[in-house]
Structure 1
Amino acid sequence: MTKFKHMLLAAALAAPVAFTAGNATAQVSGIAVANPEQAVANSKAWTAARSQIQAQYKTQLDQANTRRTAIQAELQPLVTAYQTAARAPGASEASLRPQAQAIQTKQQAAQQELARLTEPAQRAESYAIEQISAKLSDAVQAAVRARNVTLLLRPEAALFAQPAADITPAITAELDKSVPSVGITPPANWQPGQGQGAAAAQPAQRSRPQGR
């Protein structure tokens, strides 16, 4: 979930936190809480996109998992040797530096290798999340208007909140209506973050089922 939260950070920060109450019939009134990352994570569009990505990039993801296990096995003897050397009488930072550098070099190479294997899937994830996040602010506003919420907080910002004060499911429901599906194949020249605003909304709109 940590990686997912990083992907969503910009969109979550952009989501409004305070609103003027509307005239809609309220189920919640006044102050409410919501987790924007969870709202996106629970959306139908993300659930479907994640399944598609896992299927489409299964070979690369399986290779990454296999290599990750192998790399851990390769690193463990080096780490054990370093720990043993560190406990030896007379061990110093200078004497341990070559072993530490060897471990660090191998770790960096491993990270680069795993990044190459997982990059296509991560790129697809970022593209899908960006399309959903483009509608997050509108979904938040629709949810708070429908419930006469005048102040919306993140759950961690509230000392106490009744379960009924959590409108995260309502935001997810709004997302499901506004962006029921997204594409997982970004354009060749697409870069994460460049689709904020109207540009990011276009792919979601194109993928929306046609109405009457």
Structure 2
Amino acid sequence: MKNLLKPVVAAGLMLTASALPMMAAPAAAQDARGVGVVSLPAVIANSNAYRTAEQQRQTTYQAQISQAETRRQQIEAQLTPLIQQFNTARQAASPDQQALQQQATQIQQIEQAGQRELQAILAPVSLSRAYVTEQIEDRLDEAVQAAATKRNVTLILDATSGQVIFAGAQHNLTQDVLTELNTLVPSVQVTPPQGWVPREIREQQAAAQAQQTAQQQQPSGR
């Protein structure tokens, strides 16, 4: 489940009736029982734990959010006259292409530097969001299994995989999984522990350590 969650959560797509491929399903599929469809990103985003954490984060990281917004406005104020000057210059009868290129380069450099600066300011906020999501993901598999058991579902299809041919309303487990997840994870911690890094980075570090250990254990050639 956790491996499945990475592309699913990143995609952030929600299943709707109109999103299903307009294909005629076989009669056996239409009469199928024990099949469920679930949108995992919708479950996470609508869970009580996630919504509460989103609200708490606005208070916990208010200083960083305010600082980023102030800096964003400053960058925008710096860029606005440069962009206006660039647009005016390129509309001239015989624009200086070299000067235009220099202006465009300057604008792009300021934008990129500003983006990096804002990302650095908001890094604790991004880390908090990753920490919140991972805590919920850790119980998501359990919530899916509990919902499937209560609905007597033996097969659950990922709503974002594109492999769903037919799914009636009775097969949609999104609300059921959401109910189970709200019970299992009523709330989560907003502030990550000191030194915490997202699961993806931990896995990369573990793989690198395993590779290094394997190399050290290999007999040296003579």
Q: What TM-score does the superposition give when structure 1 sets the normalisation length?
A: 0.70
Structure 2 partner of 1:36: 40
Distance 1:49 1:195 in 2: 23
CA contact (8 A) 2:38 2:156 kept: no
Distance 1:93 1:141 in 2: 63
Cα gap change, 1:176/1:195 in structure 2, threshold over 3 Å: closer, same or farther? farther
Distance 1:150 1:47 in 2: 28
Structure 2 partner of 1:9: 6
For residues 88-143 of structure 1, the C-alpha deviation after alignment (integer angstroms, 9 at most, x for no partner) is 23446544221111111111121122112211122111111111111222222322
Residue in structure 1 matching 2:85, options 75, 81, 86: 81
Residue in structure 2 matching 1:108, options 106, 112, 117: 112
Amino acid at match of 1:69: Q
CA contact (8 A) 2:8 2:160 kept: no
Identity over aligned residues, as a percent?
Answer: 35
Structure 2 partner of 1:166: 172
Amino acid at match of 2:195: N
Cα gap change, 1:89/1:177 in structure 2, threshold over 3 Å: closer, same or farther? same
Query: Higher Cα Rg: structure 1 or 2?
Result: 2
Instruction: Quote how far apart the aligned CAs of 1:36 are.
Output: 0.9
Distance 2:202 2:45 in 1: 19
1:187 aligns with 2:187: no
Cα gap change, 1:140/1:98 in structure 2, threshold over 3 Å: closer, same or farther? same
Distance 2:130 2:113 in 1: 24
Give the CA RMSD over aligned residues: 2.7
Q: For structure 2, which runs of at least 5 residues remain unmatched after alignment?
A: 11-31, 204-222
Distance 1:70 1:35 in 2: 40
3-state DSSP class of the match of 2:190? coil
Q: What TM-score does the superposition give when structure 2 sets the normalisation length?
A: 0.67
1:57 aligns with 2:61: yes
Residue in structure 1 matching 2:157, options 152, 171, 181: 152
CA contact (8 A) 1:11 1:136 kept: no
Q: For structure 1, which runs of at least 5 residues remain unmatched after alignment?
A: 1-7, 14-27, 197-212
For residues 180-207 of structure 1, the C-alpha deviation after alignment (integer angstroms, 9 at most, x for no partner) is 22112222221112567xxxxxxxxxxx
Aligned residues: 175
CA contact (8 A) 1:130 1:195 kept: no
Instruction: Quote how far apart the aligned CAs of 1:11 are.
Output: 6.5
Structure 1 partner of 2:121: 117
